[in-house]
Amino acid sequence: MTQHPWQDRFADAMMKTFSPPLAMLVRGEGCYVWDEKGTQYLDFLAGIAVNSLGHAHPEVVAAVTKQIGTISHVSNYFATPPQIELAERLKRITGAGDEGRVYFCNSGAEANEAAFKLARLNNKGHRNRIISLHDSFHGRTMGALALSGKPHMREAFEPVPGGVEHIDSTIKALEATIDTTVAALFLEPVKGEAGVIDLPDGYLKRARELCTEHGVLLILDEIQTGIARSGAWFAYNHADILPDAVTIAKGMGGGVPIGALVTFGWASELFRRGQHGSTFAGNPLVTATANAVLGVIERDDLAANATLRGQQLREIILGFKSPWIEEVRGRGLLLGIGLTEPVALKLGAAALAEGLIVNAANETSIRIAPPLIVGDTELADFQDRFGRALASL
């Protein structure tokens, strides 16, 4: 009896929420993955900025193995050592310091849901407006959808929670909007899902000033940009500001589902006992794993590697002098290749055929977000494979 092809089994078993998968992956090591036929791919997407240390990193494997054999889950009626250690570490690396507080959750969307509830608690003087940006992405759950500036994702599911307004990503729009009726401003420091779009120069600094002046919570969504991806622990480090809250997920767990909301200063006083929670959140298995991931990033200074390799990648990409390539956006190892024509899907497919995983974020943008551990070998390999893909267009 012949087994049905995996494509058919996927289509017959999985909800129709995703497009047909590009390949069936069975194994990974470092910056490479293999499909069921044994074909090797250079992974320059890293599970969308998740696999910070690449695949099957020995220190992550050891941490997971040790913790699952020790104690993997307890309810939130109890504390565990890895949970407290990770919360303390996040307070330190975010710069939230003594007044910082950490809420753990299981995904990016959940981190933003927690931040949304935090925003509702900033209602002294009956502030009721929440501001975010057109074309921003904050996740797929209802609150996160309300925050996202992507109407086509939202329309089928309305009504979503109210009170969210979307503005243009200009300092002018910011100045015209932020006042004492606003509870919170949500921003992605670089709009990842939109195709890796940078904010204007000086934007975060001005947002910080206006939010401070008017008592507005500045909430940064660093789910994609955070955890050293931009070349610093957080993208706000480049602007030399601190937010009132930051949401974190993707790269923190190196592949295990974990997210966090970290609050700073007075924002840490807003949540009260019993106002939020989650069964799995911050369990010892995922927090021990995240401790291992963050420990390696810090010890090996992978933020510096992200800066160096990001710069080298930019040079490689512009060095192709391809008529298809207009610009390179983004920071560190979160880069967007802006294309002159809407050929991103074709280019993504051509890259895959050359054994390279990149992401067509939209019709005119290729997003690349390799593991933070990339080195000379992987960059040379990228140059070969992406160069061939470009030439085949």
Ligand X SMILES: *Cc1c(COP(=O)(O)O)cnc(C)c1O
| 221: contact with ligand X by CB under 6 A | yes
Stretch of 31-39, 105-113, 267-275, 314-322 contacting ligand X, by CB under 6 A: 105-113
Considering the rule CB under 6 A, would residue 223 count as an interface residue with ligand X?
yes
Contact positions with ligand X (CB under 6 A) in 106-135: 107-109, 112
Q: Candidates 224, 283, 289, 291: give the one binding ligand X (CB under 6 A).
A: 224
Let me know if 350 is exposed, middle or buried by CB neighbors in 10 A (0-12, 13-18, 19+): buried
Comparison of 192 and 243: residue with beta carbon closer to ligand X: 192
7: burial class by Cβ within 10 Å (0-12, 13-18, 19+)?
exposed
3-state helix, strand, coil in the chain (%, to 5): 40, 20, 40
d(CA 202, CA 244): 18
In the numeric block, the tokens 């008529």 are attached to: 323
CB hemisphere CA count around 231 (13 angstroms): 16
Smallest Cα–Cα separation from 250: which of 278, 281, 290?
290
- Which of residues 192 and 282 has its CB atom nearest to ligand X in the complex? 192
Cα dihedral angle (381, 382, 387, 392), rounded to 10 degrees?
100
Which one, 139 or 282, has the nearer CB to ligand X?
139
Report d(CA 144, CA 152) in Å as an integer: 14
361: which DSSP letter?
E
Q: Which stretch binds ligand X (CB under 6 A): 25-33, 56-64, 102-110, 288-296?
A: 102-110
Nearer to ligand X, 54 or 192 (CB): 192
CB 240 within 8 A of CB 203: no
User: Judged by CB, which is closer to ligand X: 178, or 369?
Assistant: 369
Q: Is there binding between residue 149 and ligand X (CB under 6 A)?
A: no
Binding mask 180-219 for ligand X (x = CB under 6 A): --------x---xx--------------------------
Q: Taking the complex as a whole, how short is the minimal distance between the CB of residue 355 and ligand X, in angstroms?
A: 25
CB of 49 to ligand X, least distance (A): 7
- Tell me which residues touch ligand X (CB under 6 A): 107-109, 112, 137-139, 188, 192-193, 221, 223-224, 249-250
